[in-house]
Chain A
Amino acid sequence: NAGVTQTPKFQVLKTGQSMTLQCAQDMNHEYMSWYRQDPGMGLRLIHYSVGAGITDQGEVPNGYNVSRSTTEDFPLRLLSAAPSQTSVYFCASSYSARETQYFGPGTRLLVL
């Protein structure tokens, strides 16, 4: 198993550009989530999904969209990038919401 994979590893955007961060898992996990990690603030939940076709907002959802058309994939879309979205983004998955979450390697995003 590859586990949780994320692409790209690094990305530089200009303010106003849009992009999609990819996340995939091959463990047949139902629960997937996106976090952002900023210095001194810990990981904060952006959006999550309890299964294909079901998504919901986390703590800091503004400026981001998600979809879950398959069990394996959970892309995160930045609609119009802002410097405040400069961060490290982690995708995580687990068998269910009750189980331990496993994290992907992260995407480092810089918005100029």
Chain B
Amino acid sequence: GQNIDQPTEMTATEGAIVQINCTYQTSGFNGLFWYQQHAGEAPTFLSYNVLDGLEEKGRFSSFLSRSKGYSYLLLKELQMKDSASYLCAVREGHTGRRALTFGSGTRLQVQP
């Protein structure tokens, strides 16, 4: 099975940088995803890491350390529209279903 932990809530200021951490314990690993979910909407894909290191995509970056079971999502130049929940999800590697296991999500509030 898998266990994924991320902070429940975070607050940051417009224009600043925020880092959302995710730790996981898994019996098999085949990739880590970050999704963004605005209130009342569907999750939308942000990033994917399967190898150690940093993946950068515009204002968003995601980091993975497989040996530590740790990832973070870095949001730069925060905008009000970045207020949303950020979901960390780990994909199983050793079963046929390749299911995603999601953390409970981190609700980010961006303040002016």
Contacts and interface: CB of A to CB of B under 8 A. Distances in A.
B102 A106 contact: no
A59 B2 CA distance: 11
A45 B103 contact: no
A33 B43 CA distance: 14
A103 interface: yes
Nearest to B44: A103
Interface residues of B, number: 22
A103 B45 CA distance: 9
Contacts, number: 52
A8 B13 CA distance: 37
A41 B85 CA distance: 13
B97 A100 contact: no
Nearest to A105: B42
Given A100-B45, A105-B41, A43 B99 contact: no
Contacts of B89: 43
B43 A103 contact: yes
Most buried by B among A45, A50, A101, A105: A101
Contact of A100 (B33, B99, B102): B33
Interface in B38-62: 41-45, 48
Q: At the interface, is chain A mostly helix, strand, loop or mixed?
A: strand
Interface string A39-59: 011111100101000001011
Contacts of B97: 48, 50, 56, 58, 97
Interface string A78-112: 00000000000010000001101111111000000
Given A42-B105, A56-B96, 18 more contacts: A31-B98, A33-B99, A35-B102, A40-B104, A42-B104, A43-B100, A43-B102, A44-B102, A56-B97, A58-B97, A59-B99, A59-B101, A97-B98, A100-B45, A102-B45, A103-B42, A103-B43, A104-B42
Interface of B: 4, 8, 30, 33, 41-45, 48, 87, 89, 96-105
